[in-house]
Structure 1
Amino acid sequence: MEFDWQLAGGYLLRLAVATMAGGVIGFERERGGHWAGLRTHMVVALGSATFVLLGSSVADGDPNAGARVVQGVAAGIGFLGAGTILKLDHREKIKGLTTASSIWLAAAVGAVAGLGRYELMAVSVLMAVIVLAVLRPLSRRIGDEEDHHRSPQPPVDLK
């Protein structure tokens, strides 16, 4: 089997775009001092794009192969995201939900870039920046702190 430079160039473009898109999301998280930042989001997006490209290259004519790869990435990334969530018992707070969801989004953006759907990727990243950065002051103003959520209070026994 001979090395296909044209195919490698196409892979490089999709992987680089995925990595940069993950970096945009990660930069916002890094700037906010969150656990998963620039490099984490870049690697998640790169990994997702790599899996999508691998799935498409070994599909052997199976039209559902790509969908199964995307499904596996979407489910599997949840484990990484779950690792960023902490329940702080002494403060009745849960931290990391927004970071976990941004990791999940970085995986989706990487998969979209791997499929070469750059318009969808660009719109997704734009929406992520709006939600994560632009809406942060509004979220704080209404009392919903970034990455924090009060645990529900136990029911009051009226007996």
Structure 2
Amino acid sequence: MEQLVEEFGHPTYTSFPVIVARLLLATIFGAVIGFEREWRNRPAGLRTHVLVCVAAATFGILTIEIVHAPMFAAGGMKEMVKVDPIRAVEAVTAGVAFLAAGTILFARGEVQGLTTGAGMWLAGAIGLAAGLGFWQIAGFGTLLVLVVLGLMHSLEVKFDLSEDKRDEKPEARKAPAKSKRA
């Protein structure tokens, strides 16, 4: 029993309330992005973006904890183990890119889901920023996502450049009026 308490009872470098705040922040930012995608009826919505953001934040927090883990400092282990926090960024980038690629389809000569894939990739970066404690970067990144997804969508619709035309069923598109011959 003592071994279990020792194994699971060691303190973290980052205080628990800070960890909770970072994960909640990632949840909120992921939900904001996911809500916009859900509202536009896109393949990856609220839950997906929240999960991507929280997962990336968790990896960020784990990176901080690994760098400060006491097990690597004892007995000269610090010199033997090379800790590189950038590897966490690379791992999150690769993992989220894999998920995002799954949302991209090539059908009938058109690419669909590219914006959703890019949004998931950015949600991973925002989550990582929140997990590492860079709330300013995470917050401003989320604001920029909303500007790009919302404002740019409005401009695309206004200038008839919207991707939404591709999502319509062929019979719903406006067909040229047929002339009636008597």
TM-score, L = length of structure 1: 0.83
1:147 Cα deviation after fit: 7.3
Matches within 5 A, 1:98-137: 98-137=115-154
Q: Deviations over 1:94-121 (max 9, x none)?
A: 1100000000010000000001111111
Shift of 1:75: 1.8
CA distance in 2, matches of 1:63, 1:49: 22
Does structure 2 retain, via aligned residues, the 8 Å contact 1:94–1:147?
Answer: no
The residue type paired with residue 102 of structure 2 is: G
Q: Which runs of 5+ in 1 are unaligned?
A: 150-159
**Which residue of 8, 20, 24 maps to 1:12?**
20
How big is the shift at 1:140?
Answer: 2.9
**CA offset at residue 88 of structure 1?**
1.1
CA change 1:52–1:63 in 2 (3 A) is farther
Does residue 1:40 correspond to 2:43, yes or no? no
Alignment of 1:2-151 (within 5 A): 2=9, 4=11, 7-59=15-67, 60=72, 65-89=84-108, 92-146=109-163
Give the whole-Å Cα distance in 2 for the aligned partners of 1:142 and 1:93: 20
Contact 1:96 1:148 in 2 (8 A): no
**Closer, same or farther in 2 for the Cα pair 1:107/1:148, shift >3 Å?**
farther
Task: Quote the Cα distance in structure 2 between the aligned partners of 1:146 and 1:4.
Answer: 50
Cα offset, 1:134, TM superposition: 1.5
Runs of 4+ aligned structure 1 residues displaced above 6 Å come to none
CA distance in 2, matches of 1:128, 1:26: 11
Query: Secondary structure at the residue paired with 1:65?
Result: coil
Contact 1:52 1:115 in 2 (8 A): yes
CA distance in 2, matches of 1:64, 1:140: 48
Instruction: Tell me how many residue pairs correspond in the alignment.
Output: 147
Give unpaired runs (5+ residues) of structure 2: 1-5, 73-77, 167-182
- Cα offset, 1:66, TM superposition: 1.6
Task: Give 1:152's aligned residue.
Answer: none
User: 1-side partners of 2:102 and 2:138: how far apart?
Assistant: 25
Secondary structure, counterpart of 2:106 in structure 1: strand
Q: CA RMSD in A?
A: 2.2
Find the structure with the greater CA-based Rg. 2
What is the DSSP-based 3-state SS (H/G/I as helix, E as strand, rest coil) of the residue aligned with 1:55? helix
- Per-residue displacement from partner, 1:19-48 (whole Å, max 9, x unpaired)? 110111111000000010011000000000
CA distance in 2, matches of 1:30, 1:121: 20
